[in-house]
Amino acid sequence: MSTVAAIVERCQALFDDLDFSAARAWKAAEPGRIVVGFMPFYVPRELIHAAGGLALGVLGGGDQLEVIQGDAYYQSYICRIPRSTIELGVTGRLDFVDAMLFPSICDVIRNLSGMWKIMFPKVASRYVDVPQNFSDSVGGSFYVSELGELRDILARLAGRPITDDALRHSIAVYNENRALVRQVYALRSREPWKAPSAEVYLLMRAGMVLPVEEHSAMLADYLEAAANQERPRRDNSRVVVTGAFCEQPPLNLIKSIELAGCYIVDDDFMLVNRWERSDVSTEGDPLAALSHAYLHDSLETAAKYQPDQSKKGQWLIDAVQRSGAEGVIFASASFCDPALLERPMLQKALAARSIPYIAFKFAENSGQMQPIREQAGTFADSIKLWSAA
């Protein structure tokens, strides 16, 4: 059995590797393999898997990538992730990627999908539209048809058909992965000292670059190793971090929050790993099953419309209650329209239930952590004072 340290070390190496060597090696290992990149937050990875491909999460350049050319494509008032993604593209780091998928999350990523078509014309690129209407006969039939088109594109790319059986098998593989992901989050929320957030983060990031089967094995190993490892329990406050569903915070930011006295017991980094809340059906038409899960059993985020006003923000309240959190930290990327426009509505829902919160912004390459550490530290202290009162 691997130790926690060994697993985390592997994840850290994958995280630091801006050349995606592991994914390159995977592709090179067998002729005809395809790699399909996708941006946050959600794409139906099962389709890529069923095409025999590797779904590669492209989550920006973090704080280690020097963005030189990417900056020339964006005005100062646009977030970081599109420019670092362009940097990854123009510096050849994604030259082994056969297709790029751009989820329907905001106007920046939407427009980036078109930029990709112009800048990398040899790469198949597709904007993955998802319905904002959640009835099966309306939004569902649209989505099934979109999934069908994507299936055709991927099949052409892979040079083989994607059968229903293959797709049902891929759904089962991802169901297993999501179940393990949920277990890791549950462990962290139960005993956060045993699964520190920086570790959980790296573990989830590994899922962006590894084949899903390998990632599932890693998650299982981690669960076992972490449960058996004694670690000191601190008197930290328990918080949910929200707003970072696209551009990722620097790893140091996550560490800083915990060092400042907060256990992160839930977050929205990399929603794709647990987008569907329970198993997707492996019976019947697999596209209908994926669509049904999207419409009726998926997580909420700012990019998704909530048709029922009385439920606005309820998912965050639920996350707080489920994880036993004492407060919420809104950490949004600067200039992130969806997160920042959503924030006042979520804050209102929290205030109505007297759940304390703080808010700050970050960029994926933020270097200076002192202010965040101070803010999070003060928040942790105030939660304690507040709960003692």
Partner 1 sequence: MTAIPISAPAKSQPAIKDGSMLKQKEMISGNYAKLENAAAEGRKVVSTFVPGNLNELIMCFDVLNNLPEINAIQNGMRKKTGGYIMEAEKRGHSEDVCTYVKADLGMIEKGNIGPDGQKLPDPNLLLLSYTGCFTFMKWFELLRDHYGCETTMLHVPYQGDGNITPTMIAYVVRQLREEVIPKLERVSGVKFDIDRLRENLARSARAEEDFVWVLNSAKARPSPIDAYFGGVYYIGPIFTAFRGTADAVEYYRLLREEIAERLARGQGPVTPSGDMGPERYRLVVEGPPNWTSFRDFWKMFHEEGAVVVASTYTKVGGIYDLGFRHDPARPLESLAEYCLGCYTNRNLPSRIDIIERYMNEFEADGFLINSIKSCNSFSAGQLLMLREIERRTGKPAAFVESDLVDPRYFSPANIKNRLESYFQMVEQRRAGAAARAA
Question: Between 69 and 98, how does the x/- string for binding to ligand SF4 read (CB under 6 A)?
Answer: ----------x-xx----------------
How many Cα neighbours within 13 Å face the side chain of 322? 15
Based on the shown chain and the rule CB under 8 A, indicate whether residue 187 belongs to the binding site for partner 1.
Answer: no
Q: Which of 198, 195, 200 is nearest to 228 (CA)?
A: 195
Binding piece for partner 1, criterion CB under 8 A, among 135-143, 163-171, 185-193, 205-213: 135-143
Based on the shown chain and the rule CB under 6 A, indicate whether residue 128 belongs to the binding site for ligand SF4.
Answer: no
Query: CA 332 to CA 235: how far, in whole Å?
Result: 26
Of 102-131, binders to partner 1 (CB under 8 A) are: 102, 104-108, 110-115, 117-119, 126-129, 131
* Among positions 26, 74, 96, 362, the unique one binding partner 1 when judged by CB under 8 A: 74
Binding piece for partner 1, criterion CB under 8 A, among 3-11, 191-199, 314-322, 330-338: 330-338
Based on the shown chain and the rule CB under 8 A, indicate whether residue 298 belongs to the binding site for partner 1.
Answer: no
Q: Are 108 and 82 in contact (CB under 8 A)?
A: yes
Of 212-231, binders to ligand SF4 (CB under 6 A) are: none
* Among positions 336, 350, 363, 376, the unique one binding ligand SF4 when judged by CB under 6 A: 336
Based on the shown chain and the rule CB under 6 A, indicate whether residue 337 belongs to the binding site for ligand SF4.
Answer: yes
Q: Are 269 and 292 in contact (CB under 8 A)?
A: no
Based on the shown chain and the rule CB under 8 A, indicate whether residue 334 belongs to the binding site for partner 1.
Answer: yes
Angle between helices 251-259 and 197-209 in degrees, nearest 10:
160
Chain-centroid distance of CA 240 in Å reads 15
For residue 54, the SS3 value is: strand
Cite the beta strand spans of 211-348 per DSSP E: 237-242, 262-267, 327-333
Q: Are 264 and 234 in contact (CB under 8 A)?
A: no
Number of Cβ within 10 Å of residue 163's Cβ equals: 12
Q: Which residues bind partner 1 (CB under 8 A)?
A: 72-75, 77-78, 82, 102, 104-108, 110-115, 117-119, 126-129, 131-133, 135, 137-139, 141-142, 145-146, 149, 302-303, 305-307, 309, 312, 332, 334-338, 340-345, 347-348, 361
